[in-house]
Structure 1
Amino acid sequence: MPNPAPGNSANQIRQQFIDFFVQKAGHAAVPSSPVVPHDDPTLLFTNAGMNQFKDVFLGTGSRDYTRAVDTQKCIRAGGKHNDLDDVGKDSYHHTFFEMLGNWSFGDYFKQEAIDWAWELLTSEEWWGLDPERLHATYFEGDASEGLDPDLEARDMWLKHLPADHVHPGNKKDNFWEMGDTGPCGPCSELHYDRSPDKSGGSLVNADGQDTVVEIWNLVFIQFNRQQSGGLVPLPAKHVDTGMGFERIVRVLQGKTSNYDTDVFTPIFAAIQKVTGAKPYDGGEDTLSNPIDTAYRVIADHIRALTFALSDGAHCGNKGRDAVLRTILRRAVRFGHQTLGVTEPFFYKLVPAVVELMGDVFPEIGPAAEAVAKELEEEEIAFRATLERGIVIFDKALEGLSSGQTLDGETAFDMEATYGFPFSLTQVMADERGLTVDQAGYDQAKAKHAEISKGEGGGADAKASLVELVQQNDLPKTDFTGYGQTEAMGVETSVHVFRVGTNCGLYKVAEQVEAGKPCAVVLGQTPFYAEAGGQVGDTGSLQFTNGARVKVTDTVKVGDVTFHLGEVLAGTLQGGATSVALAVDAKRRALTQNNHTTTHVMNRALRDHVNDEANQKGSLVDDEKLRFDFSHGNALSPEEIAAVEKQVNDDIAKDLPVYAQVVPQEDALKINGLRAVFGEKYPPMVRVVSIGVPVNDLISDPDNADWPGYSIEFCGGTHLAKTGDAEGFCIVSQESVSKGVRRVTALTGPAAHKAVATGQQLASRVEMLKDAPVESLAQQIETITKSAEAATLPLSATHAIRLGLGELGEKVKAYQKQQGNQAEQGVVAAAQAIAEEHSGGVIVAEVPGADGKTLRSAMDVVRKKHGESALFLATADAESGKVAMIASVPKPMIEGGFKAGDWIKHVAPIVGGGGGGRPDMAQAGGKDPAKLPDALEAAKQFANEKTA
């Protein structure tokens, strides 16, 4: 097993990797990009270190460095790269992991990448791994592609390893491609042999084993895959390497499992403390031990969710959000069913992740409270259905024995009705020695999608509701939801509608079975139907016959309200009955926050932006408010600040909110009343007034004070007082169309989080004003990425950008000054050389120069010694670079002495190469220690040519 690296904790190993490439090879240490790729719609999650450099490889972007090193946070779950189903079953699969990597963008290539990899892994100064346990692979070539074997990489590895440790690999394992087109190239992997007698060479690249593990992949990007499928060489070659952090820690700590390292053991300790379960064993039977499996799943999943939610994702029903909800539910199920936890526990593990990883990824600290809150809410919601789902699952398994198959339709019903992810059903079935019919599940899912296209308010389905009202004698629905979200024991007639099997439209039905989409009309309801920009309520209906409906949307056609959703249990039947109605009160409250604050903001916009601004549209839901209004220009930072201040002042005043239905004729007389331009209002209208009773408005409509209040026609639900909104901030603005602006804003906890994050980032920017200028560039990049990944108030975004801009100018000035000083020093050194040397040949070292300034030095020396052959060189031991330049006058060239030949003769001595014209040539090298030898060789060559 390996010799322990000096300082062998996971955090130290991560830092050693970065230090090696920064100190040894002059790489720029760059921060991880967010695990949620906000700027790449092709990815659910950041799943590899190369994602943040994709634009560089595609040639659409650039960086101000050519060498980089980082640790990138990644998630592989859902999509093409999906490790979710394997997590917990073995010792090395994870949904969340870190990818250590070093990069070259048109700079170094194979030789340096291979030599540095070998040095880091085997040098006693660094990690000191046993070379006899290492195996390397190289691309064996592909005749069908016209690709030759990568003998160059093979021969480089043979300098370090015996031939039986250097293995050819096929295109699948050893040729990397970004996609169907684009940059690609051969790769070379390093594998570590864990076998006791170091005899695992035959297992390199073998699937289904954990004896020989891949620890590092070096990708040499040198081709471009064209649309035709052909390959052409790239003008600039790149290096992209990736090392699995959890795997290398395992190797360096001498463990048999990634989960036995201190990457996970602190989280295991937290799980044990929170759940009271039996501690993680980690013994020989750990992979078959259900308790250990649960620990591995929960520890992995809390890492994935903490980072994903910190970077702006959420649990939900679609795409990325649905994957995260599946991950959470998988963890909760293991805690509930395997560890025996009876109370919500998962969210309590967030602090353990923050404590363990917050120093490396500081963005997770400020987000911890919000992340834990969302996970707690999701867990509570899922646990309510988990127990019922387990009962249904056990019932479905009756009559099945080990080795048999659970039908796919049942598996889909569990997902659609009880929120059980298919992957979770697979896990539960596997625990009982059963399989699940994947094809049957896919077929049932496709069928459901086809018949429920219109569920929840699709355009065609909602159009069919209009026809139902026109063709059927449906009762008017009385809305009882102002000020209440529940109605128990309501005696009412029930009208039931199903979704047509072939058309996806609502049809009259006598009954609807469990698991099927439906629409329900009642005589009265507290459910608010979508109108006036406010979204429809969600919640549940419970009927006396046991039928239960999950309401996913509420819409209104004329006077008839439709509750759209799905029958969760029992059989939904029409006729007279009693029903208990429960609106999702939390969602309604958050929506009301945003609705009332929209009114307050509308008033503030007229005061500070445009007195003639008219509302053009709005959307208020439980997450945000969106408001469109007539205005030709973008809001200035000063206008945004003034609007925010007025709204927050009104919230702080805790103004009462009044609502009253009055004759339209009377309402239109109120001085300062606002209505939506072009909207048609009924004879009786509902007036919502903030801060002044509606009766006062009606009794004294001409009062000059009324324009200072928010007074609008509105049928929506609202807060009782403005203070309940807690806070407000504008997070974005945009142009919707010519002359129409849109602002999006947050209230309540969401606003507090955005403001707090903005203040934290602004504080970090302010602190940088006193920081050493040498370290500013990297810190500016880190804060910029954090700001881009977060939801911030526009005012904070503006301040942060201004501050970073000022700091950026400071960095530019410093870099320019440093460059000028360096060039001045080189010129002075060149002038000294010109004064101190004479003769037909001058060979000298120019201290402190580089490739660019060395040419300036040559100009200085040549100005005084234009008839002499000149050879100047410089070396930088820290960067490991050598530069040299030669100049030969025309008379000497005619005598056979050429600058290009001179350079070609000398450059190999310092490990470089180069050339040029007969009168001028340049070269680079990578062995500064050999510069004295090179200068002596230059003198000898010149003396021979001029003898």
Structure 2
Amino acid sequence: MTSQDVRKQFLDFFESKGHLVVPSAPIVLKDDPTLMFNNSGMAQFKEYFLGNASPKSNRVADTQKCLRVSGKHNDLEDVGFDTYHHTMFEMLGNWSFGDPARPEVGYFKKEAINWAWELLTEVYKIPKENIYVSVFEGSVEENVPFDQEAWDIWKELIDENRIILGNKKDNFWEMGDQGPCGPCSEIHVDLRTAEEKALVSGKSLVNNDHPQVVEIWNNVFMEFNRKADGSLEKLPAKHVDTGMGFERLCMALQGKTSNYDTDVFTPLINKVEHITGYKYFDNSVIPSAVDEKTNIAIRVIVDHVRAVAFAIADGQLPSNTGAGYVIRRILRRAIRYGFTFLNKKEPFVNQLVAVLANQMGDYFPEIKLQEAFVTNVIREEEASFLRTLDQGLQLLDNVVSKTRGTEVSGAKAFELYDTFGFPKDLTALILKEKGMSFNESEFDESMQTQKSRSRAASEVSTEDWAILIAGNVETFVGYDQKENEVKITRIRKIDSKKDGVLYQIVLDNTPFYPEGGGQVGDKGTLVSANETIEIIDTKKENNLILHFTKNLPENLNASFIAKVNTNLLELTSRNHSATHLMHQALRSILGTHVEQKGSLVNPKYLRFDFSHFSKLTETELQQVEDFVNARIQDQLPLIERRNIPFAQAVREGAMALFGEKYGDHVRAIKFGESMELCGGIHVKNTADIWHFKIISEGAVAAGIRRIEAITSDAVKAHFASYENILDEVKTALKNPQDILKAVHSMQEENIKLSKQIEALVKDKVKNLKASLTEEIQEINGIQFLAKQVDLTPDGAKDLAYELGNLGKNLFLVLATADEEKPMLTCYISKELVVEKNLNAGQVVRELGKYIQGGGGGQPFFATAGGKNTAGILQALEKAVDFVR
């Protein structure tokens, strides 16, 4: 049974049980501040469990892309070292969202357990004697009893000696520190041989990290809500949340003893073998024949490329912060294993994307549609980090050369890790080859200090919601109204190290647009008969629109007028509409490969990130500006279509962005030929934008360019600023009639003067060469001179080469202080570089400390700049130490 068969049979089975099969949500979460990545199958359904939205079906099934690399659920360090942990994995799931008013539409323990047994034993035909199950034993401290109901259901299906009582850690599942939770029933499968089973009971190996006795399915029965004080309360409706590990299920059904021996991974492994020439040994091979370091490296690489590729396809690019740093760290871990254990010194991980797209593209079309883009991003990241590895190796050599004894400072090792992304284990490996090590406790202390600092900066405590009006479904009215009468339905206090105490307010209906789709959240006020409360931001979380304020109203039950700050919103909407026009312009001028990869829209400016692998020329930038301004001049009216079927919108030409989670019905925004799916606020007519002006263009990541631009009032201010500058230039040039002619004349005069100065400097160099030749001393057979000269840095370079032509054993250090900027220039004859192991780069780095600066260069010629001219004399005095 292929992995595609396994996936299809699961979805078909639950579809036959009345479940709606839905697509996987993106692996990267954009509207949930509590999670960086989708780390479980239930994450995309949180709003249903919390009661903040109604599902389109009370029975749902799917296969969800998940990533566990940070926080509470972190499997990264285990990946590669065992056969069943992964960063990115698929979670097959079936769900029941209970409805108190219609209990017949959902189901609970009886149906969930019986269907799980039916699928595993009758459809997948896993031998019953290989299965163990667990139920919650109860908890006195939680005041939750033993799950007798689950025990009784299982007792009808399986021998009692195969039912295990599990504690809170293993058999009580929680969404987080707060929120829905409940007991769960796990299903484990014993994949050992008959001989192994005869020696040790599988029951004793459950939940003990045995590679062949593994959990494959967890059925969670959500019936409680965890409050901020830790107590539990009953949910109004009971829900079922199940998750089955796809990779582990394939291992069981394909008769393998390792996830990596299944066809989920073997095509990738085969490709790595082909690229590197190294052989991977599966679990059937005698351990003594296995090169375990090679096996670990290949497992790491084929696991990590899946996580990185799908994250990039869903819109998360590698970067130095947040989720982007996590993705970069995963990729660098893969590169490092290839570099060290598979001898790959050039980019190669990117070549695996094509295999992945072919293998998974049918169920996850985003990886196939973005194959070229993902490949290019990974290739650029690989090339960059391989250069960093070389830098890191040089720095490590430098640290080693200055270390007395065999132990390198742990703080220095951490500096390599923190600044250059140089992995801890690679540092340890290289040092071991040199008969050295580093102080691990110092390293861990530095790491802990950084983590504590980061954690303290982002620490937030959140209280429970205080419900003022129960059962209300919040309505957003901001497309049509900018102020309206509202009531407060719930409030919550939050306390963060960054912002202090704030309050989140939810209204029965709101004109405030919550941050999303790149557009910032609205600001404004809540006004009652007696007071005005300032709304400082608006965000969305689990389908609730949260209004942030520093103070709560005195009377929470009063009626208020919610007023959006329309001045700010109008400026924002102009910038938002301009991003749509610019997106159209870029695709028309550069090609349809251009796709939006991120944006920021606020009242001051717009920022637009897009896929493109070369810098835009001045001509191309001007074409983009002209294209957008032409649409503004055309006065195109906004055509807004709400609540249209997603498939219909795409069929009619609407742009849908990768990594966004769209519902069955969407909102489409159209200006002329530009049509995109968008939930943001826009102008009624492109004429309202007034004018569009690009301020900057540059690279932000491999294969990603960024344009920043302004519209409307900001353009007027921009032009006014340039007019003022022009007036100042005219005044400085004594108000010529033709300012351009005056500038050209000044440039020509400057060229003439520069040539005259250059000739004078050459004469000065010749004169200095003659006088300095007499000052050269011989020390240990080396011609030595250290001298301050009255030249520019370029003049000092010319003088150094002139003096260098006099012989083959010159060691020269010249100092200059042109315009009070100290500079050291070091020249060493190439013969001395070879024979005496002298290096000009090392010389200037050491002497540069005296002028509070640094530099570098080639072994025979290098320079260092600084800011302390008073240190020149000491630097020159110390230069002689290198030849003594």
Q: Provide TM-score, normalisation by structure 2.
A: 0.53
In the alignment, the residues of structure 2 paired with residue 440 and residue 147 of structure 1 have an alpha-carbon distance, to the nearest angstrom, of 44
Cα deviation digits, residues 307-352 of structure 1 (max 9, x gap)? 0000011111112111111111111111122111232111111111
- In structure 2, relative to structure 1, the CA distance for the partners of 1:450 and 1:64 (3 Å cut) is closer
Amino acid at match of 2:11: I
Partner of 1:412: 414
SS at match of 1:20: helix
SS at match of 1:34: coil
| 2:15 counterpart (15, 19, 22) | 22
| 2:182 counterpart (185, 210, 215) | 185
Partner of 2:803: none
Cα deviation digits, residues 244-275 of structure 1 (max 9, x gap)? 00000000001010000000000111112223
- In structure 2, relative to structure 1, the CA distance for the partners of 1:794 and 1:424 (3 Å cut) is farther
| 1:80 and 2:72 are equivalent in the alignment | yes
Contact 1:200 1:211 in 2 (8 A): no
- In structure 2, relative to structure 1, the CA distance for the partners of 1:787 and 1:105 (3 Å cut) is closer
Partner of 1:42: 34
SS at match of 2:18: coil
| 1:443 and 2:445 are equivalent in the alignment | yes
SS at match of 1:17: helix
Partner of 2:6: 13
- In structure 2, relative to structure 1, the CA distance for the partners of 1:725 and 1:33 (3 Å cut) is closer
Partner of 2:606: 743
Cα deviation digits, residues 564-595 of structure 1 (max 9, x gap)? xxxxxxxxxxxxxxxxxxxxxxxxxxxxxxxx
In the alignment, the residues of structure 2 paired with residue 213 and residue 413 of structure 1 have an alpha-carbon distance, to the nearest angstrom, of 39
- In structure 2, relative to structure 1, the CA distance for the partners of 1:119 and 1:797 (3 Å cut) is farther
In the alignment, the residues of structure 2 paired with residue 289 and residue 9 of structure 1 have an alpha-carbon distance, to the nearest angstrom, of 27
Residue 61 of structure 1: how far off its partner (Å): 1.9
Residue 413 of structure 1: how far off its partner (Å): 2.2
Contact 1:726 1:747 in 2 (8 A): no
- In structure 2, relative to structure 1, the CA distance for the partners of 1:68 and 1:410 (3 Å cut) is same
- In structure 2, relative to structure 1, the CA distance for the partners of 1:378 and 1:154 (3 Å cut) is same
In the alignment, the residues of structure 2 paired with residue 290 and residue 104 of structure 1 have an alpha-carbon distance, to the nearest angstrom, of 44
In the alignment, the residues of structure 1 paired with residue 79 and residue 169 of structure 2 have an alpha-carbon distance, to the nearest angstrom, of 23
- In structure 2, relative to structure 1, the CA distance for the partners of 1:46 and 1:648 (3 Å cut) is closer
- In structure 2, relative to structure 1, the CA distance for the partners of 1:351 and 1:326 (3 Å cut) is same
Cα deviation digits, residues 490-518 of structure 1 (max 9, x gap)? xxxxxxxxxxxxxxxxxxxxxxxxxxxxx
- In structure 2, relative to structure 1, the CA distance for the partners of 1:163 and 1:728 (3 Å cut) is closer
Contact 2:76 2:87 in 1 (8 A): yes
- In structure 2, relative to structure 1, the CA distance for the partners of 1:284 and 1:79 (3 Å cut) is farther
- In structure 2, relative to structure 1, the CA distance for the partners of 1:52 and 1:794 (3 Å cut) is farther
| 1:104 and 2:106 are equivalent in the alignment | no
| 1:95 counterpart (63, 87, 91) | 87
In the alignment, the residues of structure 2 paired with residue 783 and residue 396 of structure 1 have an alpha-carbon distance, to the nearest angstrom, of 43
Cα deviation digits, residues 605-653 of structure 1 (max 9, x gap)? xxxxxxxxxxxxxxxxxxxxxxxx999477689975995499669x96x
SS at match of 2:219: strand
Partner of 2:262: 261
| 1:371 counterpart (351, 370, 374) | 374
Residue 782 of structure 1: how far off its partner (Å): 11
- In structure 2, relative to structure 1, the CA distance for the partners of 1:387 and 1:449 (3 Å cut) is same
Partner of 1:118: 117
| 1:314 and 2:317 are equivalent in the alignment | yes
- In structure 2, relative to structure 1, the CA distance for the partners of 1:261 and 1:242 (3 Å cut) is same
Amino acid at match of 2:107: Y
| 1:230 and 2:223 are equivalent in the alignment | no
Amino acid at match of 2:77: D
| 1:148 and 2:151 are equivalent in the alignment | no
In the alignment, the residues of structure 2 paired with residue 430 and residue 21 of structure 1 have an alpha-carbon distance, to the nearest angstrom, of 54
Partner of 1:707: none
**Where does 1:539-578 land on structure 2 (aligned, <5 Å)?**
none
SS at match of 2:133: strand
In the alignment, the residues of structure 2 paired with residue 190 and residue 431 of structure 1 have an alpha-carbon distance, to the nearest angstrom, of 46
SS at match of 2:73: coil
In the alignment, the residues of structure 2 paired with residue 100 and residue 434 of structure 1 have an alpha-carbon distance, to the nearest angstrom, of 47
Partner of 1:195: 192
SS at match of 1:144: coil
In the alignment, the residues of structure 2 paired with residue 248 and residue 157 of structure 1 have an alpha-carbon distance, to the nearest angstrom, of 20
Residue 421 of structure 1: how far off its partner (Å): 3.5
Aligned pairs, number: 525
In the alignment, the residues of structure 2 paired with residue 112 and residue 47 of structure 1 have an alpha-carbon distance, to the nearest angstrom, of 26
In the alignment, the residues of structure 2 paired with residue 383 and residue 730 of structure 1 have an alpha-carbon distance, to the nearest angstrom, of 25
Amino acid at match of 1:380: A
Partner of 1:381: 384
Residue 182 of structure 1: how far off its partner (Å): 1.6
Residue 395 of structure 1: how far off its partner (Å): 8.5
In the alignment, the residues of structure 2 paired with residue 221 and residue 289 of structure 1 have an alpha-carbon distance, to the nearest angstrom, of 42
Residue 371 of structure 1: how far off its partner (Å): 1.4
Residue 19 of structure 1: how far off its partner (Å): 0.6
| 1:62 and 2:54 are equivalent in the alignment | yes
- In structure 2, relative to structure 1, the CA distance for the partners of 1:64 and 1:730 (3 Å cut) is closer
Residue 382 of structure 1: how far off its partner (Å): 1.0
Contact 2:109 2:150 in 1 (8 A): yes
Cα deviation digits, residues 897-943 of structure 1 (max 9, x gap)? xxxxxxxxxxxxxxxxxxxxxxxxxxxxxxxxxxxxxxxxxxxxxxx
RMSD of equivalent CA atoms:
4.6
How many percent of aligned residue pairs carry the same amino acid? Answer: 41
**Where does 1:729-808 land on structure 2 (aligned, <5 Å)?**
734=601, 736=603, 742-746=605-609, 749=612, 765=647, 785=661, 798-800=675-677
In the alignment, the residues of structure 2 paired with residue 399 and residue 637 of structure 1 have an alpha-carbon distance, to the nearest angstrom, of 55
Cα deviation digits, residues 24-44 of structure 1 (max 9, x gap)? x11010111000011112212
In the alignment, the residues of structure 2 paired with residue 150 and residue 165 of structure 1 have an alpha-carbon distance, to the nearest angstrom, of 16
Cα deviation digits, residues 386-435 of structure 1 (max 9, x gap)? 145356668879999xxx99753232022134321446557878999999
- In structure 2, relative to structure 1, the CA distance for the partners of 1:291 and 1:449 (3 Å cut) is closer
- In structure 2, relative to structure 1, the CA distance for the partners of 1:35 and 1:18 (3 Å cut) is same
- In structure 2, relative to structure 1, the CA distance for the partners of 1:211 and 1:279 (3 Å cut) is closer
- In structure 2, relative to structure 1, the CA distance for the partners of 1:768 and 1:381 (3 Å cut) is closer
| 2:349 counterpart (340, 343, 346) | 346
Contact 1:326 1:421 in 2 (8 A): no
Partner of 1:337: 340
In the alignment, the residues of structure 1 paired with residue 130 and residue 674 of structure 2 have an alpha-carbon distance, to the nearest angstrom, of 51
Contact 1:85 1:423 in 2 (8 A): no
Partner of 2:297: 294
- In structure 2, relative to structure 1, the CA distance for the partners of 1:114 and 1:387 (3 Å cut) is same
Amino acid at match of 1:190: I
SS at match of 2:298: helix
In the alignment, the residues of structure 2 paired with residue 646 and residue 183 of structure 1 have an alpha-carbon distance, to the nearest angstrom, of 44
Contact 1:99 1:245 in 2 (8 A): yes
Amino acid at match of 1:785: K
In the alignment, the residues of structure 1 paired with residue 670 and residue 261 of structure 2 have an alpha-carbon distance, to the nearest angstrom, of 45
SS at match of 1:99: strand
Cα deviation digits, residues 737-788 of structure 1 (max 9, x gap)? xxxx643335671899999xxxxxx999459869xxxxxxxxx999973699
Contact 1:203 1:211 in 2 (8 A): no
Contact 2:417 2:423 in 1 (8 A): yes
In the alignment, the residues of structure 2 paired with residue 158 and residue 724 of structure 1 have an alpha-carbon distance, to the nearest angstrom, of 63
Residue 64 of structure 1: how far off its partner (Å): 1.5
Partner of 2:460: none
Q: Provide TM-score, normalisation by structure 1.
A: 0.49
SS at match of 2:239: strand
